[in-house]
Amino acid sequence: MRRVVLLMAATLWAFAALGQQHTVTGVVTSAEDGQPLPQLSVALKGTTQGVVTDLEGRYRITVPGPEAVLQFVYMGMATQEITVGDRTELNVVMQPGDVAIDQAVVMGYGTRAKNQLTGSTVQVGGEKLAELPVASPLEALQGKVPGLVTNTTSGTAGSSQQVMVRGIGSLAAGTEPLYVVDGVPIVNYDVQASAATSSMSTLASLNLSDIESVTLLKDASATAAYGARGSNGVLVITTKRGKTGETQFNFAGYYGFQQVATPWQQLMTGQEQLESFGAALRNADFFAKLKKNKALNDKYLSGQSLSESEMGAVNAIWEALAPVSQYVKKDLEEDYPIIKRWVAKGRPNYDVRKAWLRNMAHTFNGQLSAQGGGDGYSYYTSLGGNYTQNLAINSDYKKLTGTLNFTRSLTSWLKFETQNKLAYNRQDGITAEQSSYYSNPYRAWWILDPWTSPYDSVGKPNLVLPSTLQNYEYVSKHSINWQDMVRGITSNSLTATIIPGLKYKTLLSLDYYLANTKQYYSRLYAEGKKVGGIAVRNEMTNYNYVTQNSLSYDFTFLDDHALSLMVLMEYQRNHYTRLGGSGYGVPHDKLNLLSSTSSNFSVNESDDDWSNVAYLGMANYSYLGRYILDLTYRREGSSNFPTDKRYGNFGSIGLAWNIHTEPFFEPIVGVINNLKLRGSWGVSGNSDITRNSYQSLLDFGATYNQKPAGLLSGYGNPNLTWEKNSTFDIGLDFGVLEDRISGSVSFYYKQTTDLLQNVPLSRTQGFSTVLMNVGAMNNRGVEALLEFAILRNKNYHLNLGFNIATIRNRVTKLAKDATGTRLVISSNWKRTDENHKISEWYLREYAGVNPQTGLPMWWKDSTHQEKTSDPSKAKKHWTGYSSVPTYSGGVTLHADAWGVYMDANLYFAGGHRVVSSPDLAGLGDNASSIAKGHAPKKLYGNMWQKPGDQTKYPVYAYNANHRYVGLADNMLRRGDYVRLKDLTLGYHIPRWMLDRIKYPGTISIYARGTNLFTHAFDPEVDFDPEVRLDGFADYYAPVFRTISFGINMNF
C-alpha cells in the first residue's frame, strides 16, 4: 500500500510540474536600428538549456515554470535577464552597452562569444591599463597576459619595448607580434636619431585611456586569419566607442614622482679606491719581479703546481715588497696628479650621479573625454596630455593625443563608422644611452674616477675630465638632442545589411607619421669643438594604408545549427622614407641649422616600401552552442619575396566542446558551470625580413673620379620564401561554483620550418652571407590562468588571479656547407646549434681563484680533471641557458568594500641567465677600473692579497692581463626575479557625499605605486634584473619606481 501511495504522489507531482512547463517565443531586435538580431543567445539561467535566434531574430524555448529567468546575450549589447512569468510571448529590444570581458573576445576581424572560441586568447580590459604611469600599452600588459614577455629597452619615457609571444620563433626574420588597432594591421617602427640614442616607440602614440580592450591571439586557430604575419602572435587593440544616451563626460588625471626602481650599483669611495689602487700597484710590482725568472713566471701564470722551493721563491718576492700604504703614499698621493689634487682638497666624496641624474623626476597626465549618442548614432571623443621627466637632467617627454570615434546608421540597412586618432610625441634631451660613448650619462659615472669633481673651482661644470670623458651637465645645456613624431590614424568603414544576417563591409584605413630628429654638438666643447660645431638632422615619414572588403553571413538552420561565414580581401601598402643631413662649422651655437654649417656636408636618403595582399575565408559552425568548428584559410602575397615565391597558403582548423552544456552534465552544472575542451592546428608564416633580400643589389651611394658610381651591395637569393610555422594547441577552460574558481590551461607545440639563416658564402663571391630557407626549430610550453572570486557580495569583493607560461626552445636543423658540416652560428658569448636553444650561452667554465697564486682558473674541459690559469687552454661548454626567460607570469589581487578598493599586480620571470656590462668593465683584473675609472664596491676587501687567501675575486694588478672577465660563465647571473608592478589604493566617493555638493556624477581618488618592489633571486644581481632579450644589462636608463596620485570624475 505504501508503494502505491508514493507512486501516486510522484505521478501527481510530475503532472503538476508538466502543467507549469510552457513554451516561450519571441523576436529580439536592436534598439539602434530596429533590425532583428540573428544568432543571439537565449539561455535558461541555471541550466544547460539554451537556443539561438534565427535570421529574423526569432526564438523558441521551453521553460519549467513562471519563475524561470531567460538570459539574452549578444556581443555589443547589454545582457538582459528577464523573468518569464506566465507569458508565452516575450519580445526583447537589446540596448547598446559594454561587452563584459567574460562574454566576448575581440579577434580583430570580428568579435566572438567566449564560449564559441576554439583558439588560445587572452583579453585585458582597458580599465586595467588606463591610469598606469607608462607611455605604451605594451608596458602596461606586463604580468597580465600568460605567454607574453615584454622587456624594456630603457627607462626613458616613450622608449620602445621588446615583445615576445611564446618564445623566439626565428633566427633571421622578425620576432615581434603583429599589432592590430580597431581591426586594421599597423606598423610599429621606432623613431631613433641613430643607433646610439634613445628610441621612441610609435605605439606610444596611443592613449591608454582610449583603449577598450587588448586581446592577445596566440595559437593557429586565433592567428591564422592574419596568415604570414601571425606567426609571432597578434596583439589586437580596440579603442572605445560611444554609447547611446546623454553626453557623459570623464576627466582623469594623475601626478606622480619617480625614482629608480632598484638601488644603484655601489661604487667605491675615493679612499677605498685609493687603497685598492695601491694594492694593484704592489701586485703589478710583484709580477714585474717574477717575470725576471722566466721558468718560474711561466709555471706560475699557467696555474701549474709549484714545488716547495718554487713556492718559497714566490713568497720571498712578496715579502720583499713594500706595504700597500707606501705605494699609496709615494706613487699616488705624492706623485699621481689627480689623486694629489684630491688629497689637497681634503679627500672629498664626489657623486657624479647627483650632478648628472635626477634624484626624483615628475610626471603629469590628464585626459578629458565625452561620449554619448542618440537615435542611430553614437560618439566618443577625447583629448589627453602627458609630461614626464626622464632620469637624466634636462631631459623629458611630452605627449598630446586626440581621438574621435563616431558611428552613424545612415539608413535602416547602412551603417558608417570612423575612428580617428592624432598624437604628438616628443623626447627632449635624448642621450647616447644605447652606446658606450663617453657622453652617455648612464655610463659616465662608471668611467669618471672618484677623485675628480664634476664641477670646477667656481662651481661650473668641469670641462677637463680624464679619459676624454664629457661632462653631461654641460653637454645637456649647450648641445641639442631631440626627436618628435606626429602620427595620425583614420579608419573608416561602411557596413550594409543586405538581408538579415548577410553583411557587406568596406573599410579604408590611413596611418601616417612624420618624425624629426635634431642633434647639435656645441662648437665650444668635445667633438664639436674640433670642427666648429656639428649639426645633424633627420626626417622620417611612414605612410601605411589598408583596404578591406568583406562579406559575412550569419544564419541558423534546423533550429539547433548556427553557421558564420566570412570572405575578405585585404590590401596593405607601406612606404617609408628617411632623409638626413649633417655639416660642420657654425658661426655661433645659436645658429645651429644645417644651412649655417660651412664644411663637410653629408646627405643621406633612403626609401623603403612593401605591400601585402590577402584573400581570407573563415567558417564557424556551432551545434547548440555545444560543438564548435572553426575553419580558416588565407592565401597571402608579399612583395618581400620573388614573384614566383610571393604567395603562400595558410590556414587552421579548431574544435571546441562545451562539455557543461551536455545533458549528462546537468546534475553537476551547479558545481562546474563551465567546462570547455578546445584544440587547434594550423599553419602560419613569417615575411618580416629585410626588404629586397631576394634581389642582387647595386648601391649608387659611391663615387668614382668625382662621378656617380655603383657598387654591388647585396647577394640575392631568387628562391627565398616564407618561414612556415605549424602550431598545435590543446586547452581546457573551466569555471566552478558560478565562476568562483575559473581559468584555463593550454599546451602548445610550434614547429618552424624553412627557417631563414644567413649562410656563409665563399670569399670569392665578394659577400659574406646569403639569406636562405634551410633550418628548423620548435617551441613548446604550458600556459595556465587561474582566477578566484574569494568573496562576492553587493558591498564587497575579493578576487585573486594567477598566470604562468613556460617555454622550451630547440633548434633542430641548420644549414650545412659543401662538406656536410653544420654551419653553427657563433659569437663571443653565444652559440646556436642543433639540439640546443637559440643563442645559448657558450662559455668557458670558471673554476675559482687559485689560493696560492691569486690567479683566476678555468676547467680545461667538461671532465673537471684539470684546471688552468690560461683561458685559451680551456674549452668552452654549453651552459644549458639562454638569455630568454623560460617561464614568466603574474599574480593579481583585487579587493573592495563599501567604496574602498585595492588592486595589486605582481610580475615574475626566470629560467634564463644575464650579464652585467658594468661588471664586464669594472671587474677586469687588469685593474683598469681601479686606476682609470670608478670601481665596483664589491671588489673592496674581496680581492686576493697574499698566498693562501680564499677570496671571491682574483689578484688585481695594474696593467696585468689575466682576463678574469673573459668569456667564462663566472659572469653569468641568474635572471630570475619578481616585481610588484602595481599597487593601487582608491576610494569611490559615496553618493550621499556627492549629493551634498550637488554633484551629479561619480568621483574616485586613488594612490598608486608602480615598480615598488623588485627582488632578484641571485645575490650577485646588483642591477635591475629586467634586461633586454639579448641578456646584457647595458648603460641605459633604468626602470622607474613611480608614486602617483589621481582622480577620476564622471559627470
Q: Do 704 and 570 belong to one domain?
A: yes
Instruction: For residue range 279-296, list pLDDT tens digits in order.
Output: 999 998 998 898 888 888
- Helix, strand or coil, per DSSP, at residue 765: helix
CB 211 within 8 A of CB 130: yes
Its sign, for the CA torsion 123, 127, 128, 131, is positive
Its sign, for the CA torsion 242, 243, 248, 253, is negative
Q: Which range among 165-174, 237-246, 900-909 has the greatest average pLDDT?
A: 900-909
pLDDT at 98: 52
Q: With respect to residue 172, please indicate whether it lies within any of the assigned structural domains.
A: no
Angle at 151 between CA 145 and CA 154, to 5 degrees: 140
pLDDT at 20: 61
pLDDT beyond 50 at 472: yes
Three-state secondary structure of 421-464: EEEEEEEECCCCCCCCCCCCHHHHHHHCCCCCCCECCCCCECCC
- Neighbour tally for 911: CB within 10 Å: 17
Alpha helices in 82-226 (DSSP H): 137-140, 220-223
Q: With respect to residue 508, please indicate whether it lies within any of the assigned structural domains.
A: yes
Q: How far apart (Å, rounded) are the C-alpha atoms in residues 587 and 154?
A: 36
pLDDT band at 103 (very low <50, low <70, confident <90, very high): low
pLDDT at 16: 41
Q: With respect to residue 207, please indicate whether it lies within any of the assigned structural domains.
A: yes
pLDDT at 402: 96
Task: Tell me the β-bridge partners of 201.
Answer: 190
CB 687 within 8 A of CB 740: no
pLDDT band at 79 (very low <50, low <70, confident <90, very high): confident
> In the sheet where 211-217 sits, what is the strand order?
121-125, 211-217, 234-239, 178-181, 184-186
User: How many distinct structural domains can be found in the chain?
Assistant: 2
Closest alpha carbon to 443 in 470, 406, 407, 414: 470
pLDDT (average), residues 220-249: 84
The pLDDT > 90 percentage for the chain reads: 47
CA count, 13 A, side-chain hemisphere, 229: 22
Looking up cell 582566477, which residue turns up? 787
Higher pLDDT, 767 or 809: 809
CB 185 within 8 A of CB 546: yes
The pLDDT > 70 percentage for the chain reads: 96
Q: Residue 11: phi, psi to the nearest 5? A: -65, -45
pLDDT beyond 80 at 50: no
Task: Tell me the β-bridge partners of 929.
Answer: none
Q: How far apart (Å, rounded) are the C-alpha atoms in residues 643 and 602?
A: 36
| The model's pTM | 0.87
- Going by their DSSP bridges, the two strands 867-868 and 840-844 should be labelled as unpaired
- Neighbour tally for 765: CB within 10 Å: 12
**For the chain, how big is the Rg over CA atoms in Å?**
34
pLDDT at 559: 80
- Going by their DSSP bridges, the two strands 234-239 and 178-181 should be labelled as parallel
Q: With respect to residue 979, please indicate whether it lies within any of the assigned structural domains.
A: yes
pLDDT (average), residues 583-600: 93
Q: Residue 555: phi, psi to the nearest 5? A: -155, 165
Count H helices, E strands: the chain? 15, 55
Among 82, 97, 112, give the residue marking a domain's end.
97
pLDDT band at 923 (very low <50, low <70, confident <90, very high): confident
Alpha helices in 351-467 (DSSP H): 352-356, 441-447
Q: Do 510 and 627 belong to one domain?
A: yes
CATH of the domain at 1045: 2.40.170.20
Q: Do 574 and 429 belong to one domain?
A: yes
Q: How far, CA to CA in Å, does 870 sit from each of 177, 288, 876, 963? A: 45, 18, 13, 9
Q: Do 93 and 187 belong to one domain?
A: no
pLDDT beyond 50 at 17: no
Q: Do 76 and 191 belong to one domain?
A: no
Q: Which range among 581-585, 862-866, 954-958 has the greatest average pLDDT?
A: 581-585
Angle at 342 between CA 341 and CA 347, to 5 degrees: 145
Q: With respect to residue 597, please indicate whether it lies within any of the assigned structural domains.
A: yes
pLDDT at 3: 47
Among 33, 67, 97, give the residue marking a domain's end.
97
Among 36, 63, 97, give the residue marking a domain's end.
97
CB 876 within 8 A of CB 829: no
pLDDT band at 18 (very low <50, low <70, confident <90, very high): very low
Q: Do 545 and 651 belong to one domain?
A: yes
pLDDT (average), residues 550-567: 91
Q: How far apart (Å, rounded) are the C-alpha atoms in residues 513 and 727?
A: 35
pLDDT (average), residues 297-307: 82
CB 540 within 8 A of CB 577: yes
Alpha helices in 384-485 (DSSP H): 441-447, 472-478
Closest alpha carbon to 1029 in 920, 909, 922, 923: 909
Instruction: For residue range 392-421, list pLDDT tens digits in order.
Output: 999 999 999 999 999 999 998 999 999 999
Find the range with the poorest average confidence among 205-219, 376-390, 571-585, 648-662.
205-219
Q: How far apart (Å, rounded) are the C-alpha atoms in residues 15 and 19?
A: 6
Higher pLDDT, 467 or 86: 86
pLDDT at 395: 92
pLDDT at 768: 77
Closest alpha carbon to 879 in 911, 904, 923: 911
CB 118 within 8 A of CB 218: no
pLDDT (average), residues 455-476: 88
DSSP 329: I
Question: Whole domain around residue 1006: which residue ranges?
Answer: 178-243+357-839+882-920+972-1050
Cell of 541: 615619414
pLDDT at 819: 81
Find the range with the poorest average confidence among 108-112, 141-145, 975-979.
108-112
Q: Do 531 and 652 belong to one domain?
A: yes
- Across 624-696, the runs of DSSP E, i.e. the strands, are 627-638, 647-658, 672-686
pLDDT at 218: 85
Q: With respect to residue 536, please indicate whether it lies within any of the assigned structural domains.
A: yes
Angle at 161 between CA 156 and CA 163, to 5 degrees: 165
pLDDT beyond 60 at 845: yes
Q: With respect to residue 161, please indicate whether it lies within any of the assigned structural domains.
A: no
CB 215 within 8 A of CB 123: yes
pLDDT band at 962 (very low <50, low <70, confident <90, very high): low
Q: With respect to residue 117, please indicate whether it lies within any of the assigned structural domains.
A: no
Q: How far apart (Å, rounded) are the C-alpha atoms in residues 147 and 101?
A: 19
Q: Residue 117: phi, psi to the nearest 5? A: -85, 140
pLDDT (average), residues 369-393: 93
The separation between CA 278 and the C-alpha centre of its own chain, rounded to angstroms, equals 46
pLDDT at 23: 87
pLDDT (average), residues 988-1003: 91
Q: How far apart (Å, rounded) are the C-alpha atoms in residues 849 and 950?
A: 8
Q: How far apart (Å, rounded) are the C-alpha atoms in residues 978 and 841?
A: 23
Q: Do 205 and 83 belong to one domain?
A: no
Q: CA end-to-end span of the chain, whole Å?
A: 72
Task: Tell me the β-bridge partners of 602.
Answer: 582
pLDDT at 793: 87
Closest alpha carbon to 135 in 207, 183, 192, 86: 207
pLDDT (average), residues 564-574: 94
Longest Cα–Cα distance of the chain, Å, equals 121
CATH of the domain at 30: 2.60.40.1120
pLDDT at 14: 38
Q: Do 627 and 765 belong to one domain?
A: yes
pLDDT beyond 90 at 382: yes
pLDDT beyond 80 at 4: no
pLDDT at 12: 37
Q: Do 217 and 72 belong to one domain?
A: no
| Residue-averaged pLDDT of the chain | 87
Q: Do 461 and 607 belong to one domain?
A: yes
Q: How far apart (Å, rounded) are the C-alpha atoms in residues 160 and 145?
A: 19
pLDDT at 504: 96
CB contact set of 15 (below 8 Å; sequence gap of 6+):
none
pLDDT beyond 90 at 299: no
